[in-house]
Amino acid sequence: MTAQRASVKDVALLAGVSVGTVSNVLNRPASVTEKTRTKVEQAMAELNFHRNASARQLRAGVSRTVGVIVMDVGNPYYTELARGIEDRLANDDHTLILCSSDEDPHREAQFLRLLAEQGVRGVLVTPIASTMQRLGELRRLGIPSVLMDSLSSQHTSVGVDHVSGGRQAITHLIAQGHRRILYLAGPTDLQQTRHRLRGAVEAVQAAGLDPADVLQVVNLPYVTANEGQRGLIEALDGPGPQPTAVFAMNDVVALGAMRELRVRGLSIPGDMAVVGYDDLYFAAELMTPLSSVRQPMRQLGWAAADLLLTDHPHTMFEPELIVRASSDLRRT
Amino acid sequence: MTAQRASVKDVALLAGVSVGTVSNVLNRPASVTEKTRTKVEQAMAELNFHRNASARQLRAGVSRTVGVIVMDVGNPYYTELARGIEDRLANDDHTLILCSSDEDPHREAQFLRLLAEQGVRGVLVTPIASTMQRLGELRRLGIPSVLMDSLSSQHTSVGVDHVSGGRQAITHLIAQGHRRILYLAGPTDLQQTRHRLRGAVEAVQAAGLDPADVLQVVNLPYVTANEGQRGLIEALDGPGPQPTAVFAMNDVVALGAMRELRVRGLSIPGDMAVVGYDDLYFAAELMTPLSSVRQPMRQLGWAAADLLLTDHPHTMFEPELIVRASSDLRRT
DNA sequence: GGGCGAGCATGAATCGATTCATCAGTTGGG
DNA sequence: CCCAACTGATGAATCGATTCATGCTCGCCC
């Protein structure tokens, strides 16, 4: 029933030993006699002792928390990533401070300042445009960082091969006979957008076709359902040949596109095939199950945390196309 | 270009003042001359000074981080909650340590120990069966806690009125003419399950009907799409009168149920109306837009954090039924 | 029995920010 | 011209865990 927190001193007093011994029980149990150890452990239990992480970290100079900044915690895609990180950290008794930048440089800067003050062991970030410079400042403070879901030769990073993802999606659509494909892309300053386009171009060329004929790109400022719908309208109502397939930046964008297709009474995949990205958990549950490129987010997070804690270098993962009815006539 | 972290001592040295003065600049700027203040601030900028949160907390005895334990970070419903918490904490320069219990008592215990060691300012929890006792231990360490999404007279808590949510859903379905309603519920040891049932019963009674005739309950061990589908199969293939409407524990369960309805070629809402819970962001985007009870998760999180930081007592929120095509013939 | 080394326990010093009693310097009034 | 009053700066002490040079004890061997 002690109202206050017990310290090593209290434990030492109760056990009748010195504070150094208590610390030894905690950190070098082998160097303490069986007898004293049990005595100390009893005292700790009796006082409900929890070591003070602040004091520990102040002395040791190294923290047991890791900062994570993702673009949007609301997106299941990123929480899956966070989950992978957490799993890895738990193995080493570390915790995770999770922040959501909302793609807002100001928010990101504020979080990085807080993390620096916390003296975190390291920072894991899904980068936005302004990120790199600020990470340099952290580095100068001795705080390492890892980029996630984005590759950089300047910086330790883990990522998924978006070129491969784009290639797989478009190869599949071409194999299904499509010769005019709409890419509902994100902003061009996102590496993901560019890499997937490159993969798409490669797939078209590999089939002996001309990318300029086959691919039509619409860049959306935000990757939301409404934008996806708007982008599709823009493409369908515009001049030029009509696409017969859509490759969407993610499943939410695909959702918006499919909504517009229904509005127009177009069948999926008969009139228009659709392939999404991320394979969110509801993709298979839609009226027309959605083909989607699955990314190993949990492994990615695991790898990012592992890279920080142990310096094991594994950096690039392969995505995998999951084919469902939305792009495969035989399945409908 | 100093490789190491600068401390107040370094700043004091460079600015030619004492450490006490530096601390005053940081914490009581009014009590320092304009001239010395700018001198110190320049030194801080030059050294890229960040105050060490560990030392600060060790001395002050109070932390600027808050622990949050939710049942599943993978569920958008909980991340929205976390987002609300984060928004409130950011106002007071606090950060959030987010943990996912996965409904596993062992994981939860481990996280609570870590949070105790961190000396967090407080803990916000979506409780599972084993939670309450452990929170008592924290309390004895002087760490306050707030229950979220669950009400308790024993404990400070914020919650949504699940009785009201259940009542709204069933009142709506009865108004649509349904007289045999299947409640695809969660485990009975979840407060949410029980409260929504109570609301459902009240709605039936308010309509002058007998709950035993109208309501059929299937308890699912897990609230997943597959379980939702299985629960519906169990109900449809079982003896007794067939339901004409389904009230699902959440939107994911509703998704599974709708999948089975499609398999059987039953129309929604013609043959079977469906109402979900949580109003997840894809609910409106499904082929048959899903009616769902919306919960103000972000506000709930905000309120929980506010309760911790300021002791403003606001505890209960109202959910709101969003009617869409899945339960309303006129909208199809 | 004396000497020696191994095995344990000790406690002062340390990390960095904060606090507060104390001191130095300035001003104004008598 | 002196003292009181006040403003602003000072630096030693503090928080709790860890470390390491030091000291103590015991057992063993010559």
Q: DSSP secondary structure string, B122-140?
A: EEEE---TTHHHHHHHHHH
* SS3 state of residue B101: coil
> For residue B101, what are the contacts with CB-CB under 8 A and spacing of at least 6?
B69, B70, B71, B107, B108, B111, B126, B128
Residues 61-100 of A with CB under 7 A from strand C: 61
Alpha-carbon gap, residue A190 to A187, rounded angstroms: 6
Smallest Cα distance from A96 to chain B, Å: 6
Find where tokens 């890892």 sit: A146
From start to end of B161-213, where are the E strands? 181-185
Q: What is the pLDDT of residue B62?
A: 81
Candidate CATH numbers 3.20.20.240, 3.40.50.2300, 3.40.109.10, 3.30.70.920; the one for domain A63-148? 3.40.50.2300
Of A4, A76, A117, the CB nearest to B50: A117
Q: What is the pLDDT of residue B119?
A: 87
Q: What is the pLDDT of residue A182?
A: 97
Q: What is the pLDDT of residue B332?
A: 60
Q: Are A142 and B4 in contact (CB under 8 A)?
A: yes
Interchain proximity B255–A285, CB inside 8 Å: yes
- Tell me the chain B residues in contact with residue A79 when contact means C-beta distances shorter than 8 Å: 73-74, 76, 79
- Give every strand in the sheet of A291-294, ordered side by side: A215-219, A181-185, A245-248, A273-278, A291-294, A320-322
- Tell me the chain B residues in contact with residue A58 when contact means C-beta distances shorter than 8 Å: 52, 54-55, 58
Interchain proximity B286–A286, CB inside 8 Å: yes
Please give the structure tokens belonging to residue B114. 């870590």
Alpha-carbon gap, residue B113 to A169, rounded angstroms: 46
Q: CATH topology of B64-148 equal to that of B162-294+319-331?
A: yes
Which residue stretches of chain B have pLDDT < 50?
1-2
Q: Are A321 and A279 in contact (CB under 8 A)?
A: no
CA dihedral of B260, B266, B272, B277, whole degrees rounded to 10: 30
- Look up the CATH number of domain A162-296+317-331: 3.40.50.2300
pLDDT in tens, chain A (332 residues): 445 688 999 999 999 999 999 999 999 988 889 999 999 999 999 998 999 999 999 998 888 889 999 987 777 788 889 889 988 988 888 888 888 887 788 888 888 888 888 889 999 999 877 788 888 888 888 889 999 988 777 788 899 999 999 999 999 999 999 999 999 999 998 889 999 999 999 999 999 999 999 999 999 998 888 899 999 999 999 998 999 999 999 998 999 999 899 889 999 899 999 999 999 878 877 778 899 999 998 999 999 999 998 877 667 888 998 888 888 887 66
Q: If we measure between CA atoms, which residue out of B55, B177, B191, B68 comes closest to residue B121?
A: B68
Q: What is the pLDDT of residue B288?
A: 82
- Indicate if CB(B129) is under 7 A from strand C: no
| Type of residue numbered B149 | D
How far: B115 CA to C18 C1' (Å)?
24
Query: Could you tell me the CATH superfamily of domain B162-294+319-331?
Result: Response regulator (3.40.50.2300)
Alpha-carbon gap, residue A331 to A316, rounded angstroms: 32
Alpha-carbon gap, residue B257 to B182, rounded angstroms: 11
Smallest Cα distance from B184 to chain A, Å: 18
Q: What is the pLDDT of residue A93?
A: 81
- Indicate if CB(A21) is under 7 A from strand D: no
Size of interface A-B (CB pairs under 8 A): 144
Alpha-carbon gap, residue A293 to A162, rounded angstroms: 10
| Type of residue numbered B59 | R
Residue B89's alpha-carbon distances to A201, B38, B55, in angstroms, are 46, 30, 21
| Type of residue numbered B49 | F
Alpha-carbon gap, residue A86 to B104, rounded angstroms: 15
- Indicate if CB(A110) is under 7 A from strand D: no
Q: What is the pLDDT of residue A214?
A: 97
- Indicate if CB(B63) is under 7 A from strand D: no
Query: Does the B64-148 domain belong in CATH 3.40.50.2300?
Result: yes
CA dihedral (B239, B245, B249, B255) positive or negative:
positive
Residue extents of the structural domains in chain A: 8-51, 63-148, 162-296+317-331
Smallest Cα distance from B97 to chain A, Å: 5
Q: Could you tell me how many residues make up chain A?
A: 332
Interchain proximity A100–B90, CB inside 8 Å: no
Q: What is the pLDDT of residue A139?
A: 86
Of B5, B52, B79, the CB nearest to A79: B79
